[in-house]
């Protein structure tokens, strides 16, 4: 009688929806479901909704299938070792939650609780663009800029589980002030800041197809509009991505001097811009990073798309099973 | 019959002199000697001089004492795993040297070859101000700014043994250009740049006791002059150290967001300035690093002084002995 293949319950907890999947050790998603975050406010209702979703997932698997472990990625600060959620920025009712304990009480399974970006990093580095690297940094470009750091094949969490916050790496001594410091790269290349860079120039009268793309409502401009315009050669859109790439290159060069990873794996909505981001990024890295470091560094787009979180949660769940 | 205490031959290879010591596992320096770097040009003469110095050291130890391992810190790029010296910036004749192999051929002992700053970091973190930390960053402030990173109690060397080059972390997108990038913190707080900051203001007519300290020869100004003037309240000297502290705080905040170490251990000549550096450094970190990170971070002066390199070479030598 052979052992059944272990299956992870992966829970990608977002501010808008909670995505769940049954995932096997090769990162195949066997079944998936989701519920709206707002439909299950607070920890107790959330646990009920996750339990119900887990039954839904099992019902679409062969009879007798069971979960072997649970992995959760949450949008906020987590103490990984304790499985403790300090606080979720955009989800009310999630302060100081011993989530791993609560999940173990409910499911009687090994549990991993990690922040969402580290979970994506674990997924990309185990089964995506980072597979095969021992030392890599996952970067996600969206509303904010997040990071997950792989050292010697394991996530590096630092002294108190907060490492990898590369969006707050400063690129300018005298840059914008935020609660996280001064001149953090996220203040330049977060979605809103990218749109604002182009919008400010449109307001000053720079001519661009972007004015039509947002129907003259500059406040409605998004990085996606700008990426599409750049792809067909709009000068302002190209200038905007060149500026974004310069800021990112400064941060990535700094991270390389600290860590010397083998690769950056770059995902998130802004990374979908493709060559209009990656080409100038490589150009600016030549100016900002010594060839000793740059010649052996790979810059790769993420490969798992919106499944990176689920795959990563499963990866961490399997790692939580005692050997 | 008890085992004799193992003794490391520690070799701190500097651009001016090569310091050697016999060191026990508790980091006690049992004997020390040195020779001028220029007196032994090239690898062969250097090995001869090290061998002669090792005999001098043994002659001052109890009869029958022998070395158990050799640890060398060199001023340049090293591949630690291979014990291979790529290049030493300020020592001619040291390009592409398989130094660990050459030392093993000569001494028939386990050998560790590391760059000098990583060796100091190993010393400080094993036996100095960093003792007891698992995750710490050693910073040395001098001609340049160097770093050594301890993760999980071991030096982090990165993908190709070049990690920890924190002097090249950029603090300004539009800062000075160097072969290592743009706006590296070393371009602001290296010895020469500190002196130049004050000298430029003196030339513009700012009144300060520093003018007398360098006898009106502003090019002769050093960080030591400035630290001494700051300690007795000279306004320009205090302003200079406030600027240095601000630049360092920007870099340290960035490194904290990436790595979240438990502590920074700060050594090198400029660190001897003491409170005139450390007080404004802590003030600027409050502005540049979230309390989530700062409240659990320690900023400590290095404890081993000029022996950090020798102690670190010994630490790495003992680690090279097979278990």
Chain Cα centroid distance, residue B123: 10
The yes-or-no verdict on residue B3 having pLDDT over 80 is no
**pLDDT at site A2:** 62
Alpha-carbon distance values, A203 to A218, A222, A318, B306 (Å): 8, 15, 52, 58
Distance of CA A269 to the CA centre of its chain: 10
In a domain, B183, yes or no: yes
**Residue A161, domain member (yes or no):** yes
Nearest CA among A75, A107, A21, A97 for reference residue A320: A107
Confidence label for B52 from pLDDT (cuts 50, 70 and 90): very high
Model confidence at B1: pLDDT above 70: no
Task: Test A259 with B156 for CB contact under 8 angstroms.
Answer: yes
B259:A180 CB<8 A:
no
Same domain, A148 and A25: no
* pLDDT band with cut points at 50, 70 and 90 for residue B274: very high
CB-facing half-sphere around the CA of B41: CA atoms within 13 A: 4
pLDDT at A1 > cutoff 90: no
Q: Is the CB of B1 inside 8 Å of chain A's CB atoms?
A: no
Asked if B151 and A147 come within 8 Å (Cβ–Cβ), the reply is no
Express each pLDDT in A223-276 by its tens digit.
Answer: 999 999 999 999 999 999 999 999 999 999 999 999 999 999 999 999 999 999
pLDDT in tens, A65-109: 999 999 999 998 899 999 999 989 789 999 999 999 999 999 999
Check whether B220 has a pLDDT greater than 90: yes
CB-CB neighbours of B39 under 10 Å:
11
CATH number at residue B292: 3.30.420.40
Interface test with A, best of B257, B264, B291 (most A CBs within 10 A): B257
> What predicted TM-score, i.e. pTM, was given to this entire model?
0.94
Q: Do B290 and A180 touch (CB under 8 A)?
A: yes
Q: What is the mean pLDDT of residues B293-310?
A: 96
Q: Domain limits at A229?
A: 132-303
Contact between chains at B250 and A162 (C-beta distance less than 8 A)? no
**Is there a contact between A182 and B250 if contact means CB atoms under 8 Å apart?**
yes
Confidence of residue A319 (pLDDT cuts 50, 70, 90): very high
Q: Same domain, yes or no, for B163 and B14? A: no
CB A130, CB A301: distance < 8 Å? no
Let me know the angle formed at the C-alpha of B306 by B303 and B309, rounded to the nearest 5 degrees.
Answer: 90
Kindly list the distances between the CA atom of residue B261 and the CA atoms of A93, A155, B2, B144, B256, in Å, as whole numbers in the listed order: 30, 15, 40, 22, 6
Question: In terms of Cα–Cα distance, which of A166, A122, A29, A108 is closest to A316?
Answer: A122
B11: its two tokens: 């070799």
Whether A2 is covered by a domain: the verdict is no
Domain shared by A66 and A166, yes or no: no
Residue window 155-194, chain A: list those with CB within 8 Å of chain B.
Answer: 156-174, 177, 179-184
Question: Is A283 in the same domain as A245?
Answer: yes
Instruction: Please report how the helices A223-231 and A275-288 are oriented relative to each other, as an axis angle in degrees rounded to 10.
Output: 90
SS3 B277: helix
Asked if A94 and A87 touch (Cβ cutoff 8 Å), the reply is yes
> Does A202 contact B at CB distance below 8 Å?
no
Same domain membership, residue A163 and residue A288:
yes
> Between residues 231 and 250 of chain A, which touch chain B (CB distance below 8 Å)?
246-247, 250
DSSP B262: S
Same domain membership, residue A160 and residue A246: yes
The pair of structure tokens assigned to B149 is: 């990173």
Q: Nearest CA to A75 among A170, A144, A20?
A: A144
Same domain, B56 and B78: yes
Please indicate, yes or no, whether residues B216 and B244 belong to a single structural domain of this protein: yes
- What's the DSSP call for residue B28? -
A144 closest CA partner among A36, A223, A214? A223
Q: Does A4 score more than 90 pLDDT?
A: no
Among A323, A320, A307, A321, which residue's Cα sits nearest to residue A23? A307
Contacts with B262 from chain A: Cβ below 8 Å: 159
- Is residue A94 located within the same domain as residue A139? no
Nearest CA in chain B to A259: B163
Given a cut of 80, whether residue B2 has pLDDT beyond it is: no
Q: Which helix (H) or strand (E) holds A70?
A: strand A69-74
- How many structural domains are present in chain A? 2
Contact B258 A149 (CB under 8 A): yes
Residues A24 and A107 in one domain: yes
**B58 lies in the same domain as B157:** no
pLDDT digits (tens, 9 = 90+) for B129-175: 999 999 999 999 999 999 999 999 999 999 999 999 999 999 999 99
Confidence of residue A323 (pLDDT cuts 50, 70, 90): confident
Residues of B whose CB is below 8 A from A147: 258
Do the beta carbons of residue B256 and residue B295 sit within 8 Å?
A: no
Q: How many CB pairs under 8 A join A and B?
A: 143
């Amino acid at each position: 009688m052979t052992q059944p293949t272990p299956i992870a319950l992966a829970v990608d907890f977002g501010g808008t929806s909670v995505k769940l999947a049954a995932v096997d050790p090769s990162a195949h998603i066997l079944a998936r479901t989701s519920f709206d975050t707002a439909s299950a406010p607070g920890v107790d209702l959330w646990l009920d909704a996750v339990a119900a979703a887990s039954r839904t997932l099992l019902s679409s698997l062969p009879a007798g299938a069971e979960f072997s472990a649970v992995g959760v990625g949450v949008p906020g600060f987590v103490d990984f070792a304790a499985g403790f959620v300090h606080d979720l920025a955009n989800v009310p009712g999630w302060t100081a939650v011993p989530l791993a304990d609560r999940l173990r009480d409910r499911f009687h399974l090994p549990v991993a609780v990690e922040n969402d970006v580290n979970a994506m990093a674990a997924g990309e580095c185990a089964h995506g663009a980072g597979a095969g690297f021992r030392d890599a940094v996952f970067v996600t470009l969206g509303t904010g800029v997040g990071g997950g750091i792989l050292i010697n094949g394991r996530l590096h969490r630092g002294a108190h589980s907060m490492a990898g916050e590369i969006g707050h790496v400063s690129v300018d001594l005298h840059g914008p002030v935020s609660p996280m410091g001064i001149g953090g790269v996220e203040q330049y290349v977060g979605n809103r800041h990218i749109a604002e860079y182009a919008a400010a120039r449109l307001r000053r009268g720079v001519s661009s197809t972007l004015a039509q793309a947002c129907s003259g409502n500059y406040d409605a401009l998004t990085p996606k509009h700008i990426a599409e315009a750049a792809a067909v050669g709009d000068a302002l859109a190209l200038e905007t991505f060149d500026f974004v790439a310069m800021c990112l290159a400064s941060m990535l060069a700094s991270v390389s001097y600290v860590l010397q990873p083998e690769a950056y794996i770059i995902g998130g909505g802004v990374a979908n811009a493709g060559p209009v981001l990656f080409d100038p990024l490589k150009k600016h890295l030549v100016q900002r990073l010594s060839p000793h470091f740059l010649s052996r560094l790979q810059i790769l787009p993420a490969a798992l798309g919106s499944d990176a979180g689920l795959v990563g949660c499963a990866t961490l769940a399997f790692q939580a099973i005692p050997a």
